[in-house]
Amino acid sequence: MANATIENVKKSFGDVEVLHGISCDIRDGEFIVILGPSGCGKSTLLRLIAGLEKITSGTIKIEERVVNDLEPADRDIAMVFQNYALYPHMTVFNNMAYGLKIRKMTKEEIRNRVHKAAEILELSELLNRKPRQLSGGQRQRVAMGRCIVREPKLFLFDEPLSNLDAKLRVQMRLEIRRLHQSLNITSIYVTHDQVEAMTLADRLIVMDKGFAGQIGTPLEVYEKPANKFVAGFIGSPAMNFFDAEMAGDGKSIRLSSGEGLQLSGEGVTETAEKTVTVGIRPEHFVICDENKAQIHLRTDLVEKLGADTLVHGYFKDNGDALTLRLNGIQHFDRNNLLPMWVAPENVHVFNQQSGDRLN
């Protein structure tokens, strides 16, 4: 196990800067997930940590040792790739043992490490098979086993579940989490899948165009997004955004539809902006009695998903699009008018120009 430190790391390809000063302290045994859309720089950051790319400026430390100029083999890390990267002509045993043979370990030590890893990953019955005789999930477990046997200081995962079908992704996600709880090895995991990120991570690094939009626990990022990008990226369906006017006391807002909402706590205490962007997650709308209603939704399309129902519609007056998520099966006709209420703590306010959170 080891801690790691990323200090103001920047990366440029020619004149194009793709990482703009990323900093994060990764604690011993922590599971960090780097999350973001395609092209945001998450895989580039992982490759810098692995030593597969040279950093332009900044510092990367593993156990207080600066590793900027070390080769990947000298960083004591292990990496699981998206495409498994198994040797097709070798058995499962030999695939897992190959790195140890290169390090000239004894046959007994190699055998003990491989069998221990195979037992953890439930691969003991498959050690004599070739990769072509395995399912996608089994191949990915072999790739993880190849890392486990090395007993590295740091695990790096580069979108390891992208090639698996939906059911297998759920199973492998659970296995990765159990594996981390069992081995407690510091891990850094890259994904664009927010479900993977929310369920696996101790902390998230949410990337946006080469910047760290927010670093925090999954619940911190969900409940208090630092900016509009993070708020819109985390959550499915995505957060609803509307234009609104701030009240003079900063404790309430008025939507462009004319309807008002209260803010929790002290509201917005420091802003010169009169017009702001308001965000409300689809699951935070509550259908209520007319006398308690703050917002009215005119229904357009209803998606019945079994466990949930998604209702798509518009504000009754100005036509701004609105989506809400309700538990269970709900039945609505088109053009129904639904009275709704939102708890003050679930109303998020953002600066319209910078996108930064205001409340």
Tens of pLDDT, residues 212-252? 999 999 999 999 999 999 999 999 899 999 888 888 777 88
Q: Which pLDDT score is estimated for 270?
A: 64
66 pLDDT band, cuts 50/70/90, is very high
Q: Which pLDDT score is estimated for 271?
A: 62
The pair of structure tokens assigned to 114 is 């491989």
272 pLDDT band, cuts 50/70/90, is low
Q: Which pLDDT score is estimated for 183?
A: 87
Q: Which pLDDT score is estimated for 232?
A: 94
Average pLDDT over residues 37-42: 93
Q: What percent of the chain has pLDDT over 90?
A: 61
pLDDT, tens digit, 9 for 90 and up, residues 167-202? 888 888 888 898 888 888 999 999 999 999 999 999
The pair of structure tokens assigned to 257 is 């539809």
Res 273 pLDDT > 90: no
Non-local (6+) Cβ contacts of 45 within 8 A are: 6, 9, 11, 19, 22, 34, 190, 205, 207
Strand-pairing partners, residue 245, are 254, 275
Q: Which one, of 183, 219, 213, 226, lies nearest residue 201 by Cα?
A: 219
Q: Which pLDDT score is estimated for 83?
A: 82
Measured between alpha carbons, how far is 80 from 40 in angstroms, rounded to an integer?
20
Measured between alpha carbons, how far is 188 from 294 in angstroms, rounded to an integer?
43
Reduced to 3 states (helix: H, G, I; strand: E, B; else coil), residue 22 is strand
Contact (Cβ atoms closer than 8 angstroms) between residue 34 and residue 207:
yes
Reduced to 3 states (helix: H, G, I; strand: E, B; else coil), residue 183 is helix
Average pLDDT over residues 316-332: 85
Q: Which pLDDT score is estimated for 167?
A: 83
Q: Which pLDDT score is estimated for 255?
A: 81
Which own/partner contact pairs does 288-293 have at CB distance under 8 Å and 24+ positions apart? 288/339, 288/340, 288/341, 289/339, 290/339, 292/339, 292/341, 293/339, 293/340, 293/341
The pair of structure tokens assigned to 164 is 């698996």
For 67-87, the DSSP string reads -TT--GGGTTEEEE-TT----
Average pLDDT, the chain: 90
Measured between alpha carbons, how far is 211 from 140 in angstroms, rounded to an integer?
30
User: Looking at 56-70, 73-87, 269-283, 288-302, which range is the least confident one?
Assistant: 269-283
Res 103 pLDDT > 90: no
- Cβ-in-10-Å burial (0-12, 13-18, 19+) of 340 comes to buried
Non-local (6+) Cβ contacts of 198 within 8 A are: 204, 218, 222, 234
Non-local (6+) Cβ contacts of 227 within 8 A are: 213, 214, 350, 354, 355, 356, 357
Res 42 pLDDT > 90: yes
Task: Decide which of 68 and 263 is more confident.
Answer: 68
User: Looking at 25-29, 179-183, 205-209, 339-343, which range is the least confident one?
Assistant: 179-183
Res 17 pLDDT > 90: yes
Measured between alpha carbons, how far is 212 from 206 in angstroms, rounded to an integer?
6
The pair of structure tokens assigned to 219 is 């619940």
Q: Which pLDDT score is estimated for 37?
A: 93
Domains and their CATH numbers in the chain: 4-230 (3.40.50.300), 239-351 (2.40.50.140)
Res 318 pLDDT > 70: no
